[in-house]
Chain A
Amino acid sequence: MLLRIHELMLEARVLEERLITMYKQGDGYFWIGGPGEEAFNIPLGLLVDKGQGVDHDYLHLHYRSSGTLLAMGADRIDSLRQMKNTATDPYSRGRNFAGHASIRKWNVAPISSPIEVQFSIAIGTAMAQRNAKGITIVQGGDAGTAEGDFATALVWASRKGAELPLLMIVTNNKFGISTPYDGQHGEVRISDRGKAFGMKTATIDGNDPEEAWAQLKAAMDYVRTERKPFLMEAMVSRLYGHSSASGANFVTNETDPLTRFEKKLEERGLLTRAKADEMRAKYTARLLEASKKVREEPQPAPESIYDYVFADENYVAETKNGEK
């Protein structure tokens, strides 16, 4: 399992690097993603009860969640399609930024750019699961906890006798865009906010996949069996800045969970440098090929803007091109 986690962490990293390269080469307008969160997001994706409907887990993720989706088995090329905003992008049909997935067949709600709304929406799927088998998992960053929706989730999830099976996750990278944690928060630990609501809480090292796995497993088991909320804060890194708007260049002053884990595996004799390099080369080549394929795929047609406004089968936009 450790090697499987490593392989997925590596692949997730290479995927984000490919997306950044695509952006820098003009094959996309914007990049935002999760390099630095792999040690947490990969175990999360592997532990999810994947499927559709209330007896499986609902996921309300954020735009740094590519590793989670990759671990769940999402087709890698689809992330590239969204970066290139092609008509074949299954997540948004060329409408949304990279990292904004939507996978209904796996209960993955559409990821949207606001950093907080998923906390208000997650209480709804969790409410629908009070007497079901699945749980709801909602994830956001540390900066998003300043928004009211985070308090909404705390309040609604912890009402006595109406507790929700909700795992609230804050991946704390200690930045809100460019503003450091200390400039935004007075509380020492975000997870402490759950204590006032009687919630089980934990702050964990999200850069260590073994700790992340164990803590996530324990938290998910608790939510699954007790049908009560849990607030987990995972300390993670942000290795390429906030987004392409801040350059998307590798930073050297933060812990790289991938190299740290590789070192650990080497020390234990489970992995060699050569083997890791070989894997990296394999995934890099594979994703390069995929990006070439995506480049040839069609862009969405202008008239497609009117598709999927309403879910009625026969709906025709009233003012389409100024006429009916």
Chain B
Amino acid sequence: MATMVQAIRMALHVGEERLGVTDIFGEDVGPPLGGVFTATQGLKTTWNSPLDERGIVGMAIGLALAGRCPVAEIQFCDYAFNTIDLLKIAGNTYWSSGGDWNVPMVLMTPVGAGIRGSIYHSHSFDAQATRTPGWKIVMPSTPLDAYGLLLSAIKDPNPVMFLKPKALLRQKGPKGEVIPGEPGDDKALSKLIDAPLGDRTKWKPEWPKLEEYFVPIGKAKIARPGRHVTVLTYGRNVPMSVAAADELAGEGIDAEIIDLRSLHPYDWDAIVQSVKKTNRVLCVNEDTEITNFGEHLIRRLVEELFYELHAPPRLLAGKHLPGIGLADNLEHASVPQKESIKAALRELARHEP
């Protein structure tokens, strides 16, 4: 089974071989490094950009306007904040030109905590991203979804932001989730597509015969079915919430974990269906808690499903702090952890109206 970063690489390979991707670029994206997380090793159309995030986003917009199919990377979302007005332009070009010009581009960027990345390698971007209309925003939590969402993003005629949960990039997915065409043996896959350490100037990957697989943008999935509480989450917090729910099963609490996968447009139908069943909601994400995407979901739930709710909906998010500190204790105290998810689920499940 592939890791998420291998899945991303394979999706980009399929993208450039079959879906028309012309330029995969960003800081250290091309050879020799192939991306700081190895997401772009061995691909045909990669190239290195200057260390200029505004230039990267502008370049992607311009390439898209000129009919190319770019996939740009901001090395860490922490460095995307100086691009916000270019992200606005990418999002508003189709609308402000009254449908004259669309901007088919993909912007991928690693997000979130979990690797002791300290203040400038731990930011989340979902709150910013969902405040940038005109963009579609996706965030996978498994290698297969990363593969399928990235292929959908490449095919989409709009700007699509592909948020990579960096703590999951080297993780494998749930048992049985296989990318169509990947070899069954992990070591065999690694041998085919992972660049060797040291000199790799003569190395070329051997790509497995991959099949196209599209996860539609805008569709959530139930990562763990349950009856008592709904967890609305995405990215790194999905496997964390599933683990928390599994541990709570012994206490008679059966939580349903919804992996939103798309933050915009998001799958309101799936949310409503689950909340009507459980009547209790917990939103979990790592971005700072004030004007957080989970707050939007809770606002809409309160407005539209108020009488379905048996407990006040809760948000478990990153603390409203200027940064995430480096030390274990600091990082753990700043963003949701399995134990804090369990505590919140217990409280919600036991709440009596």
By a beta-carbon cutoff of 8 Å, the part of chain A in contact with chain B is 53-54, 58, 89-93, 95-96, 100, 102-104, 109-110, 112, 114, 117, 119-129, 136, 148-149, 152, 155-156, 159, 307-312, 315, 318-319, 322, 324
Q: Return the chain B residue nearest A126 by Cβ.
A: B62
- Answer yes or no: B101 CB below 8 A from chain A CBs: yes
| Contact of B62 with A110 in the complex, beta carbons under 8 Å | no
Q: Closest Cβ of chain A: how far from B261's Cβ, in Å?
A: 15
For residue B68, which residues in chain A have a CB less than 8 angstroms away from its CB?
128
Please report the C-alpha to C-alpha distance between residue A26 and residue B67 in the assembled complex, in whole angstroms: 40
For residue A126, which residues in chain B have a CB less than 8 angstroms away from its CB?
62
Q: Return the chain A residue nearest B218 by Cβ.
A: A318
Given A121-B61, A124-B59, A92 and B86 contact (CB-CB distance below 8 Å): no
Give 21 CB contacts A-B under 8 Å. Answer: A91-B97, A102-B97, A102-B98, A103-B100, A104-B100, A117-B86, A121-B89, A123-B59, A125-B62, A125-B63, A127-B23, A128-B68, A149-B54, A152-B52, A152-B58, A159-B50, A307-B98, A308-B95, A310-B94, A311-B99, A311-B104
Q: Mark B195-219, 1 if CB is under 8 A from A, else 0.
A: 0000000000000000000000000
Partner of A91, one of B98, B134, B264: B98
Q: Return the chain A residue nearest B156 by Cβ.
A: A312
Please report the C-alpha to C-alpha distance between residue A114 and residue B58 in the assembled complex, in whole angstroms: 13
| Contact of A308 with B67 in the complex, beta carbons under 8 Å | no
| Contact of A156 with B133 in the complex, beta carbons under 8 Å | no
Q: Return the chain B residue nearest A324 by Cβ.
A: B268
Q: Return the chain A residue nearest B103 by Cβ.
A: A311
- Answer yes or no: B280 CB below 8 A from chain A CBs: no
For residue B89, which residues in chain A have a CB less than 8 angstroms away from its CB?
112, 114, 117, 121
Partner of A120, one of B57, B93, B268: B57
| Contact of B58 with A123 in the complex, beta carbons under 8 Å | yes
Q: Closest Cβ of chain B: how far from A304's Cβ, in Å?
A: 9
Partner of B52, one of A112, A114, A156, A309: A156
Task: Count contacts on B: residues with CB < 8 A to the other chain.
Answer: 46
Q: Closest Cβ of chain A: how far from B327's Cβ, in Å?
A: 34
- Answer yes or no: B20 CB below 8 A from chain A CBs: no
| Contact of A93 with B98 in the complex, beta carbons under 8 Å | yes
- Answer yes or no: B167 CB below 8 A from chain A CBs: no
| Contact of A309 with B97 in the complex, beta carbons under 8 Å | no
Please report the C-alpha to C-alpha distance between residue A96 and residue B55 in the assembled complex, in whole angstroms: 25
For residue B268, which residues in chain A have a CB less than 8 angstroms away from its CB?
318, 324
Q: Closest Cβ of chain A: how far from B58's Cβ, in Å?
A: 3
- Answer yes or no: B270 CB below 8 A from chain A CBs: no
Given contact pairs A110-B97, A127-B23, A312-B158, a sample of 5 additional A-B residue pairs in the complex whose CB atoms are under 8 Å apart:
A91-B97, A120-B57, A124-B70, A310-B134, A310-B157
For residue B92, which residues in chain A have a CB less than 8 angstroms away from its CB?
112
Q: Mark B75-103, 1 if CB is under 8 A from A, else 0.
A: 00000000001100100111111111110
Q: Return the chain B residue nearest A119 by Cβ.
A: B58
